Chains A and B, each alone.
Chain A
Amino acid sequence: MSIEAKTEFKPKIVAFCCNWCSYAGADLAGSSRLGYPADVKIIRVPCSCRVNPMFILRAFEKGADGVILCGCHPGDCHYSTGNYYARRRMTLLFSMLDYLGVEQGRTRVEWVSAAEGMKFSATMNEFVEKIYSLGENVRLGDLRCRN
């Protein structure tokens, strides 16, 4: 076996965070100096309901290995009912992705409030761990975006 310099797998995670709860939660994690891997890229949206299934698939297409959606707790949505719709939408989407053979665990929804800085960083750490174990996303990625 020749000794090859293997590029260590660095997972790319995209986190859609709603502006009012989970983004503030991420902020709190930051100001409390609670660490979580830099592989997580946060995209701020006004509400978790803004997230279209196309966004999730585009994230995977462009090279993400895991996508997580964070929003307000059900009942606490800043816009009253947004996260209820998001909950239904994401459940159906994840079920379809599972049906297609995409590994479970690449997608996740977590409800994080503005005061839950610790929960945010714990969730991200857990999620990154999970993606490390699942490996690179080959089933739902676009080869052209892989160099």
Chain B
Amino acid sequence: MYKTAKQNLPALFRMIAESQELYLPVRSAGQTNFACWSEEAEVDLESLNSVKSPKNVFFPQSENLYTVKRDGKKMKIEPEALRNQEFVIFGMRPCDVRGVEVLDKVFLADPPDTYYAARREHGTMVSLACREPEETCFCSAFGIDCTEPDADVAVWMIGEALYWKSRTDKGDALTGTVGSLLTEAEEQDVEETKEQVRGIIAKLPYSDLSLEGWNGEALTEKFDSEKWEELYKPCLACGTCTFVCPTCQCYDIKDYDTGSGVQRYRCWDSCMYSDFTMMAHGNNRTTQMQRFRQRFMHKLVYFPANNGGMYSCVGCGRCVGKCPSSLNIVKVVKAFQSEGGDK
């Protein structure tokens, strides 16, 4: 366990940024999102989480797959180069780290997504433990301990100090880079704060959220339940929940006419949209109820069933805060909970 003074942070960031790209939460135009560090960047480590989750660094909202350039009758195809430079992403919350683990299950499964795999290989995650969880948090329901981050490096911001603990080889390498700013510290130093935060977690309104009855069980019953007809009504079918979610992973592939060729790119897609998985014959889900049900069944039933019980929700609370109609996954879980939690 190491530590450094909070006022050393700009120097720490500068040190890291000298040899690799550094992404961290930056406040711009009133909102905090992950962006590249620069001297002028207003780093924000106080906000609970960013609007757009850090999955954007590993799985960008849009990226080029290849470019076709036309020159008369000749065509040249240029595939996009895979990421081969190291980078660090600082300040991810433990829930967001779990989100990346969920994405790993999807993108690194055979055959691996080479674009994602390249970024994952070259990225070092530094996770910041939570100090002031809010009413929208429910990571504990998914077995995440927000006081014990599980990434390459775990850091805690307590008072005027930042505590630093490396957990992997990548973490050790990063610790070496910034070693000159770190001093020794005891594990004990962070215990008190951890206990305090755990106490707050226990008092949060969603702390008693029970996932009993989900997890791939009673699939048909849940699917056929009439509760969905009621739950989906306020849904506006926008894509806010999917775009702020750290685990949503669906994407669309499109071609763009540049005038002198074509660029094939992929971009995030949302299962809430009416043209999601539109095929030649049409769409398999034609009503918003079906789409709404699909999203939550995926997160709470299909994904755990296919991935050994790992839920595709991490309890970050972004959908709770951002849905324009105040819908969220907690309301869905609770709606079925009131059925007596039967399996």
| B260, A147: Cβ atoms closer than 8 Å | yes
Within 54-96 of A, Cβ neighbours of B (below 8 Å) are at 62-63
Given contacts A62-B259, A145-B258, A145-B259, 7 further A-B contacts (CB under 8 A): A63-B259, A144-B256, A144-B258, A144-B263, A147-B69, A147-B258, A147-B260
Please encode chain B, from 258 to 288, with 1 for each CB lying within 8 Å of some chain A CB and 0 for all others.
1110010000000000000000000000000
Residues of A within 8 A of B69 (CB): 147
Please encode chain B, from 58 to 79, with 1 for each CB lying within 8 Å of some chain A CB and 0 for all others.
0000000000010000000000
Please encode chain A, from 133 to 147, with 1 for each CB lying within 8 Å of some chain B CB and 0 for all others.
000000000001101
10 contacts between A and B (CB under 8 A): A62-B259, A63-B259, A144-B256, A144-B258, A144-B263, A145-B258, A145-B259, A147-B69, A147-B258, A147-B260
In whole angstroms, how far apart are the Cα atoms of A147 and B258 in the complex? 9
In whole angstroms, how far apart are the Cα atoms of A63 and B256 in the complex? 14
In whole angstroms, how far apart are the Cα atoms of A35 and B69 in the complex? 34
* Interchain nearest-CB distance for B32 vs A (Å): 25
Residues of B within 8 A of A63 (CB): 259
**Which of chain A's residues has its CB closest to B260's CB?**
A147
Within 18-68 of B, Cβ neighbours of A (below 8 Å) are at none
Taking Cβ atoms with an 8 Å cutoff, the residues of B that contact A are 69, 256, 258-260, 263
In order of increasing CB-CB distance, the 10 nearest A-B pairs are A144-B258, A145-B259, A145-B258, A147-B260, A144-B263, A62-B259, A144-B256, A63-B259, A147-B258, A147-B69
In whole angstroms, how far apart are the Cα atoms of A11 and B37 in the complex? 37
Residues of B within 8 A of A145 (CB): 258-259
In whole angstroms, how far apart are the Cα atoms of A145 and B259 in the complex? 6
Residues of B within 8 A of A62 (CB): 259
**Which of chain B's residues has its CB closest to A144's CB?**
B258
Residues of B within 8 A of A144 (CB): 256, 258, 263
Within 110-147 of A, Cβ neighbours of B (below 8 Å) are at 144-145, 147
In whole angstroms, how far apart are the Cα atoms of A144 and B64 in the complex? 11
> Which among A62, A144, A145, A147 has the highest number of chain B CB atoms within 10 Å?
A144
**Which of chain A's residues has its CB closest to B261's CB?**
A147
Residues of A within 8 A of B258 (CB): 144-145, 147
In whole angstroms, how far apart are the Cα atoms of A28 and B273 in the complex? 50
Residues of A within 8 A of B256 (CB): 144
In whole angstroms, how far apart are the Cα atoms of A20 and B40 in the complex? 56
**Which of chain A's residues has its CB closest to B67's CB?**
A144
Residues of A within 8 A of B260 (CB): 147
In whole angstroms, how far apart are the Cα atoms of A9 and B256 in the complex? 25
In whole angstroms, how far apart are the Cα atoms of A145 and B69 in the complex? 11
**Which of chain A's residues has its CB closest to B256's CB?**
A144
Residues of B within 8 A of A147 (CB): 69, 258, 260
In whole angstroms, how far apart are the Cα atoms of A145 and B260 in the complex? 8
**Which of chain A's residues has its CB closest to B265's CB?**
A144
In whole angstroms, how far apart are the Cα atoms of A147 and B69 in the complex? 10
In whole angstroms, how far apart are the Cα atoms of A138 and B260 in the complex? 18
* Interchain nearest-CB distance for A108 vs B (Å): 23
In whole angstroms, how far apart are the Cα atoms of A144 and B255 in the complex? 12
In whole angstroms, how far apart are the Cα atoms of A51 and B298 in the complex? 44
> Which among B69, B256, B258 has the highest number of chain A CB atoms within 10 Å?
B258
* Interchain nearest-CB distance for B83 vs A (Å): 20
* Interchain nearest-CB distance for A21 vs B (Å): 30
In whole angstroms, how far apart are the Cα atoms of A57 and B263 in the complex? 20
In whole angstroms, how far apart are the Cα atoms of A62 and B259 in the complex? 7
* Interchain nearest-CB distance for A36 vs B (Å): 23
In whole angstroms, how far apart are the Cα atoms of A63 and B257 in the complex? 12
Residues of A within 8 A of B263 (CB): 144
In whole angstroms, how far apart are the Cα atoms of A63 and B259 in the complex? 9
In whole angstroms, how far apart are the Cα atoms of A147 and B259 in the complex? 9
**Which of chain B's residues has its CB closest to A143's CB?**
B258
**Which of chain B's residues has its CB closest to A147's CB?**
B260
* Interchain nearest-CB distance for B20 vs A (Å): 26
* Interchain nearest-CB distance for B6 vs A (Å): 39
* Interchain nearest-CB distance for B326 vs A (Å): 32
Residues of A within 8 A of B259 (CB): 62-63, 145
